[in-house]
Amino acid sequence: MAERRVVSASGTGTAFYARRGSRRGDWWTLLHPPYTIWHLSYVVLGAAMAPRLSWAMLGGTIVAFFLAVGLAAHALDELHGRPLNTGISTGGLWTVAICSMSGAVLVGALAVPYSGLVLVPCIGVGVLLVLGYNLELFDGRLHTDLGFAAAWGGFPVAVAFLAQAPPLTRPVTAAGGAAVLAAVGLSYAQRRLSTPARTIRRRLADITAVATLPDGTQQPVDRASLLAPLEATLKALSVAVPLLAIALLLTHLH
């Protein structure tokens, strides 16, 4: 397969973190590093809600979600329409998707004896979400703003929380539930910001307009001015959410 450059309609990167011109850059772009770290932070957040933290279980849960989301989901997403326009071969993407998803399932299965049978349906739901969302199965019913928020926000928190086998008292359960809803809200906000940002980067070659303020002052509007506030907010959140997760995790150090 001929090498592609990770560029958009305007000649810029297909994402603010995209790297162009090399195989290594293609793989970096495929990983979506800021967003992958962001969503792995939800794993940390969920585990931190448990009164007692198993560091080994947290590590295993992070590995499982990195394989499932960071690698498998993103590889499947690139297979479905090549939105990043990388030069990674179709065979390479399928290999990564299958091996990573299998690895995530294996890690989950190994955790069942510690965490209990509650993880078994979680593993099944996880596979369904990765395939259903990224390949837009079921007529794309999962590929919505709310579907994204639930799959990549709430689900990691819930699984990481349950993997710690916490005592399901009312306060502990309420804390876990609140964390799930918070992650859903944050991921919904991410989706509402990233969707127009992707459209501007990947499909909008150029735009020129003038905004007139109430006092008659005119300000130029172009592609860069539309994109800047969206991506600045996404960049800030991609740092703030991991920091919040780390802060909560540190409360378990004694």
User: Tokens 């919505």 identify what position?
Assistant: 144
Q: How many whole angstroms separate alpha carbon 11 and alpha carbon 184?
A: 33
Give the pLDDT of residue 1. Answer: 36
Amino acid code (one letter) for 35: Y
29-69 pLDDT per residue, tens: 999 999 999 999 999 999 999 999 999 999 999 999 999 99
CA nearest 35: which of 249, 231, 181? 231
Give the pLDDT of residue 2. Answer: 38
Q: Which residues in the chain land under pLDDT 70?
A: 1-12
Q: How many whole angstroms separate alpha carbon 74 and alpha carbon 57?
A: 24
Cα three-residue angle 75-77-81, rounded to 5 degrees = 115
Give the pLDDT of residue 4. Answer: 47
> Sign of dihedral through CA atoms 74, 132, 150, 170?
negative
Kindly write down the DSSP assignment for every residue of 41-95, as one continuous string: HHHHHHHHTSSS--HHHHHHHHHHHIIIIIIIIHHHHHHTT-TT-----HHHHHH
pTM of the model: 0.91
Residue 141 contacts residue 118 (beta carbons within 8 Å): no
Give the pLDDT of residue 7. Answer: 52
Give the pLDDT of residue 5. Answer: 46
Give the pLDDT of residue 147. Answer: 94
Give the pLDDT of residue 207. Answer: 86
